[in-house]
């Protein structure tokens, strides 16, 4: 997606850049959160520890959100379920067979947040609902400093060409040249690390 770049080279995605450094977050109860760039505590929403980007912490309790979880949408949609899915902050169901993700069919920790359909009683991991790259639109055009033609986001399913940078098959999110006859393709992660990728405007 879109991002800002500071004079010293720090790249911050648009969603993170527009999230305030202190605000009230309404979860199960309201928390007044402050951004702490040094905080690496486990996230209250997913349990993961972030070693970069800092965290949002509540000064009154041990509630912590990492930058990924603080931007989770309160409602979402997925092809698996025809109804809107609501972000739920705790699972009060003590029945252990209930704690599974209905998309990936893997165990779901009842302590952590999940999306739920009240009508169908489906429960799903946030990552399963939103995907690995929730703010990147497949097919959108970008320009890459190391290539003269416009590139578009793709996700290969059948054919996996080799990445121009790491020479590994492109099985994940990639950028592919739109110019006829040009076979340039590279992993999003590789191209983002090696150079700069910008939104493409005519």
Domain annotation for the chain: domains and CATH numbers: 3-66 (no CATH), 75-130 (3.30.60), 141-199 (3.30.60)
Tell me what pLDDT residue 147 has.
Answer: 87
Residue 7 DSSP class = T
Tell me what pLDDT residue 98 has.
Answer: 66
Measured CA to CA, the distance from residue 85 to residue 63 in angstroms comes to 24
Residues of the chain under the 70 pLDDT cut = 1-4, 10-18, 20, 50-53, 94-98, 134-135, 156-158, 193-202
Tell me what pLDDT residue 51 has.
Answer: 55
Tell me what pLDDT residue 201 has.
Answer: 47
CB 154 within 8 A of CB 144: no
Tell me what pLDDT residue 190 has.
Answer: 85
Residue 184, classed as helix, strand or coil, is coil
Q: Can you say whether the dihedral through the CA atoms of 113, 114, 118, 121 is positive or negative? A: negative
The DSSP H or E segment spanning 13 is: strand 11-13
Q: Can you say whether the dihedral through the CA atoms of 61, 62, 68, 73 is positive or negative? A: negative
List Cβ neighbours of 19 (8 Å cut-off, separation of 6 or more): 67, 70, 71
Question: For 42-81, how does the pLDDT look when each residue is reduced to its tens digit (9 = 90+)?
Answer: 999 999 886 566 788 998 888 999 888 888 889 998 888 8
| Parallel, antiparallel or unpaired: strands 185-187 and 173-177 | antiparallel
Residue 37, classed as helix, strand or coil, is coil
Look at residues 128, 150, 127 and name the one whose alpha carbon lies nearest to residue 139.
150
């Amino acid at each position: 997606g879109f991002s800002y770049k500071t004079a010293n080279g720090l790249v911050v995605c648009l969603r993170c850049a527009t999230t305030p450094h202190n605000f009230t977050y309404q979860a199960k109860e309201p928390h007044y959160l402050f951004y702490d760039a040094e905080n690496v505590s486990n996230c209250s929403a997913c349990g993961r520890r972030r070693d970069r980007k800092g965290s949002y912490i509540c000064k009154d309790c041990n509630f912590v959100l990492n930058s990924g979880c603080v931007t989770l949408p309160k409602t979402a949609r997925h092809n698996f379920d025809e109804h809107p899915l609501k972000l739920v902050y705790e699972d009060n169901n003590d029945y252990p067979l209930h704690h599974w993700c209905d998309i990936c069919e893997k165990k779901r920790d009842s302590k952590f947040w999940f999306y739920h359909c009240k009508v169908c009683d489906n429960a799903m991991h946030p990552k399963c609902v939103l995907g690995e790259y929730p703010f990147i639109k497949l097919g959108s055009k970008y320009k890459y400093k190391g290539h003269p033609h416009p590139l578009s986001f793709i996700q290969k399913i059948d054919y996996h060409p080799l990445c121009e940078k790491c020479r590994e098959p492109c099985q994940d999110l990639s950028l592919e040249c739109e110019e006829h006859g040009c076979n340039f393709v590279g992993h999003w992660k590789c191209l983002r690390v090696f150079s700069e990728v910008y939104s493409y405007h005519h």
